[in-house]
Amino acid sequence: MNVGLHFYLLEIKKILSYRAEFWLGFIGNVASQFGVAYFLWKAIFLARGLTSLQGFDFGALMLYYLLVPLVERAVNGQELGNVSGEIYEGGLTRYLLYPVSFFRIKYLGQLAQSTVFLVQLFVAMALFMLIFRTPHAIGIFSILKTIPVIFCAGILHFIMTINLEIIAFWADNVWSLTVLNRLITHLLGGGLLPLAFFPDRVQSWLGYLPYSRLVSFPINCLLGHVGNREWLIGLTVTAAWSLGLGLVAAWTWSRGLKTYTGVGI
Amino acid sequence: MIKARGLTKTFKVHKKQPGFAGSLRSLFVRNWEEVHALKGVDLDVEAGEIVGLVGANGAGKTTLVKALAGIIHPTGGTAEVLGHVPWRRHNEFRRQIALIMGQKAQLWWDLPAADGFLLLRQIYQVPEARFRENLARLVDALQVSDKLNVQIRKLSLGERMKMELIAALLHQPQVVFLDEPTIGLDLSAQRAIREFILDYRKRENPAMILTSHYMEDIESLCQRIVLVRQGEKVYDGSTVKLVEMYARHKVLTAHLQVGESPPDGPPRPDRMAGEILEWNGTALKIKVERRDAAGVAAQLLGNYSVADLSIEEEDVGTVIESMLKSGPAT
């Protein structure tokens, strides 16, 4: 078996072996975010007597907010602080000794998590449609279009996070930076509000930034709001950001390794 | 196999003033201090050698090991390990080395050792048959077959260390760095690991560098010692020669005939040339200057009914300790 596949399967085994984390992470994360959005928007719709807002009726909006935490989990995995932790605690030493690429192993870990979370996403969606009998059906074609989008968004997110976490070679703590990055992604990516709620000019600017590719774009793909041309452009923008930020990460990493002290041994 | 010339390593360390004011100040102004961990170290290690790297805490031993294993970049100097520059970390180089760290686990904590070993087989691309054979031999030698399916985090320190050794040697490395492999272990585990290391050396003929604060490790494993003090090599030679050259004392142990009391009464410090370490009525242990050893032995034989007399060198640990404190005797 290929070493990459071995790492990938091992990570999946690890996720599945922590039962409490598996279920609490899934239910807790989705329920808390969805619950807040549900009560908040229900109050707004009732108070203003709205039937739709920026093209979203209440059901469509709720489906969007259900998908936000699910898509974010599928794109992000749970790798926050993983690389910086390895640098601070000297765990990187192990990967410098082994004849394998550190980033390949780390990425495969994230990919494994994304795979599990993607399955959770589809299960949750099926349950939602079954319970609420929503007319906003998600077609198989949309699902097929979304899988590569989530895959590419995962790579982009991984590279963006790496760029921040590499700073751990020089800074005492990068936790706040990675948390800040998550908040900015959540806000500018369309996690807090659908991007359709932003002014047109802001929306077009946000389209050039990487954040919307991590949240809003995959959700819109899933909801069938993305045409083929837009889909291709979206993937190209994601790939361009990944390439550019990947080059920055490679350069910073090689500089950072020269300052690594292998602390803890 | 290992060749280093003029290795230097300088770390920049942030110095923070103590207290709240110091923390506040460090938000705006940072004071840095340079620490010279290695100051031009030369080292050669051949296949089959186990070299003991000895020095006080902070002397630069681990920094030297880390540079030779390719974990850190030195500030200056050159090194070649198996024909490779270590810090370039070519896969061909990494497939032939191992670093065992007594203070840092390398195996995956969430996995049983058996899963970790399988992963390492993939990483090092060890053929299936060779992997099975090596694993069986190593597991048998360290007697841990019943622990293979236990998560690493649930093993005792000694068991974990044994698993770390197996993990590091599964791919039969030609260069092995052992950084305090017996630290914190009980005596029997220490002995088992020492025997295991000797056995590995006999079987694979690797070049090995060992750092340890336990002199028992150094004495039983290393024919050669490299003494490092404040980043500089202060001695590089055989362990036996170190004692011959730098041991200032010998220890004489005399056992008197049972039932006979010394005619001049018990031995008194003012009458002997050395320092009495032990006197229990029948056995006398004296530490004497090397040059006085023969004279004191004659004195003992002349004045007492001696049943048995032995003259021993000072142990390596004592010699090294005094060298680390004061530098090599001249």
Contacts of A180 (CB under 8 A, 6+ apart): none
pLDDT in the model for residue A135: 59
Dihedral, CA atoms, A118, A120, A122, A126, nearest 10 degrees?
-170
pLDDT band for position B322 (cuts 50, 70, 90): confident
User: Over pLDDT 70: what percentage of chain A?
Assistant: 95
Contacts of B44 (CB under 8 A, 6+ apart): B2, B3, B4
d(CA A113, nearest CA chain B) in Å = 16
**Rounded Cα–Cα distance for residues A64 and A196 (Å):** 12
Candidates B111, B117, B123: best to mutate against A (most CBs of A within 10 A) is: B123
Query: Among B216, B171, B67, B43, which Cα is nearest to A96's?
Result: B67
- Find the chain A residues whose C-beta atoms sit closer than 8 A to any C-beta of B: 1-3, 6-7, 10, 14, 17, 90, 93-94, 96-100, 257-258, 260-262, 264-265
pLDDT band for position B8 (cuts 50, 70, 90): very high
At B250-277, the pLDDT tens digits run: 888 888 876 666 666 666 656 677 788 8
pLDDT in the model for residue B298: 87
User: Across residues A98-116, what is the average pLDDT?
Assistant: 89
Residues B295, B252 contacting (CB under 8 angstroms): no
The domains of chain A are located at: 3-257
**Rounded Cα–Cα distance for residues A61 and A196 (Å):** 11
Give the mean pLDDT of chain A.
Answer: 87
- Determine whether the interchain pair A265/B103 forms a contact, defined as Cβ–Cβ distance below 8 Å: yes
Task: Provide the sign of the torsion angle of the four alpha carbons A147, A152, A153, A159, taken in this order.
Answer: positive
pLDDT band for position A153 (cuts 50, 70, 90): very high
pLDDT in the model for residue B234: 87
**Helix boundaries (H) for chain A:** 3-17, 19-48, 58-76, 82-89, 92-97, 102-132, 140-165, 175-188, 200-208, 216-222, 228-259
CA-based R_g, chain A, Å: 20
pLDDT band for position A209 (cuts 50, 70, 90): very high
Whether the pLDDT of residue A5 is over 90: the answer is no
Whether the pLDDT of residue A151 is over 90: the answer is yes
- Determine whether the interchain pair A99/B91 forms a contact, defined as Cβ–Cβ distance below 8 Å: yes
User: pTM (2 decimals)?
Assistant: 0.79
Find tokens 């954040």 and name the residue: A211
pLDDT in the model for residue B260: 64
At A174-202, the pLDDT tens digits run: 888 888 988 999 999 999 999 999 999 99
pLDDT in the model for residue B9: 93
**Which SS3 state, helix, strand or coil, does residue A225 take?**
coil
Tell me which of A64 and B300 has the higher pLDDT. A64
User: Across residues A43-70, what is the average pLDDT?
Assistant: 88
At B207-227, the pLDDT tens digits run: 999 988 787 888 889 989 998
Whether the pLDDT of residue B285 is over 50: the answer is yes
Give the mean pLDDT of chain B.
Answer: 85
pLDDT in the model for residue B330: 36
Tell me which of B96 and B213 has the higher pLDDT. B96
Query: Among A76, A64, A196, which Cα is nearest to A128's?
Result: A64
- Determine whether the interchain pair B95/A14 forms a contact, defined as Cβ–Cβ distance below 8 Å: no
Lowest mean pLDDT among A121-135, A243-257, B193-207, B300-314: A121-135
Residue A35's φ and ψ, nearest 5 degrees, are: -60, -45
Candidates A10, A97, A257; nearest CB to B99 = A97
- Determine whether the interchain pair A98/B72 forms a contact, defined as Cβ–Cβ distance below 8 Å: no
HSE of B37, CA atoms in CB hemisphere, 13 A:
21
Query: Among B43, B45, B4, B47, which Cα is nearest to B174's?
Result: B47
**Rounded Cα–Cα distance for residues A180 and A193 (Å):** 17
**Assembly ipTM:** 0.76
User: Over pLDDT 90: what percentage of chain A?
Assistant: 42
User: What are the residues facing B39 on neighbouring strands?
Assistant: B8
pLDDT in the model for residue B329: 42
Candidates B72, B110, B115; nearest CB to A262 = B72
Candidates B75, B104, B154, B172: best to mutate against A (most CBs of A within 10 A) is: B104
Find tokens 């009560």 and name the residue: A39
* Burial class of residue B259, CB neighbours in 10 A (0-12, 13-18, 19+): exposed
- Determine whether the interchain pair B106/A97 forms a contact, defined as Cβ–Cβ distance below 8 Å: yes
At B106-144, the pLDDT tens digits run: 888 878 899 889 989 989 999 999 999 999 988 988 888
At B73-82, the pLDDT tens digits run: 999 999 999 9
pLDDT in the model for residue B54: 87
- Determine whether the interchain pair A99/B124 forms a contact, defined as Cβ–Cβ distance below 8 Å: yes
Task: Write out chain B residues lying below 8 Å of A88, CB-based.
Answer: none
